[in-house]
Amino acid sequence: MTSKLTISKIKTILKQKPSPEFIKKLTNDQRKGAQAQLKSYLRRLDKIEKRKVLFEERFSFEKEYWNEGFSYVAGIDEAGRGPLAGPVVAAAVILPHNFDLLEVNDSKQLSAAKREYLYGKILEKALAVGVGFADNKLIDEINIYQATRSAMKEAVAALTIRPQQLIIDAMQIETEIPQLKLIKADARSVSVAAASIIAKVSRDHLMSYYDTLYPAYDFKDNKGYGTAKHLGALAAYGVTPIHRKTFEPIKSKFAEEA
């Protein structure tokens, strides 16, 4: 009988995957506190089930390829196309068929703390992870679009397992590997979402390092984007070796200082 348990004890048990028998007994516990804990538990369970359904939907592209015999499917995404400074970073991730991190989603929908946590988990569970970089000099030389493609190609080449199929967020690259160009892929494919997290966190770590070299520009917080503090530092100190000279307003306002 759960009526002999304190509400606090019931709450603790409900956090530890209770048995069906316990839930059945709790249903018959007439105490308001017990019923409140049961309702809270059932709501959490419902949320988890809905997340599982959405997660499985985001695995639909991978599953289709797996069913066709393509065991190694790599999701590819990038981070850093828009900033005024730093590289664009791409990642390629091949996930196992039993990958079950329900929280893996488009990196833009996650907090920085959650991305950091999932970054470690993805590295731990993925079959292979590759990262590619295109620095500001290459970006200025061949433009951001082509530099992004170059970083993505480098990320695929860095994989320790050769993928049989690529899923790429809204782009195509030069490769003999079959590829699917998928709009908003980071929200539609778990593999691409995983790649978006790896790319974003990898770039954030790099920008935090650059912050130690050029502290006035606040790269740790703005990641190279044109915030007021960043633009103020540009006006006061000029461009750094990691700034993109072909990007506005650097091209117009600070070109003579480059």
- Please state the residue numbers annotated as binding site for a divalent metal cation: 77-78, 169
The burial class, CB within 10 Å (0-12 / 13-18 / 19+), for 60 is exposed
Q: Are 13 and 25 in contact (CB under 8 A)?
A: no
Supply the pLDDT for residue 258: 46
Supply the pLDDT for residue 27: 86
pTM of the shown model: 0.86
Domains of the chain: 2-57 (no CATH), 75-199 (3.30.420.10), 210-257 (no CATH)
Alpha helices in the chain (DSSP H): 7-14, 20-27, 32-57, 60-67, 112-125, 136-142, 144-157, 190-213, 219-222, 228-237, 250-253
Local structure of 70: helix, strand or coil? coil
- Helix or strand run (H / E) with residue 73: strand 73-79
Specify which residues 75 forms β-bridges with. Answer: 93, 167
- Please state the residue numbers annotated as binding site: 77-78, 169
One digit per residue, pLDDT tens: the chain, 258 residues?
A: 677 788 888 888 888 888 888 888 888 888 888 888 888 888 887 787 788 888 889 999 999 999 999 999 999 999 999 999 999 999 999 999 999 999 998 888 899 999 999 999 999 999 999 999 999 999 999 999 999 999 999 999 999 999 999 999 899 999 999 999 999 999 999 999 999 999 999 999 999 999 999 999 999 999 999 999 999 999 999 999 999 999 999 998 776 554
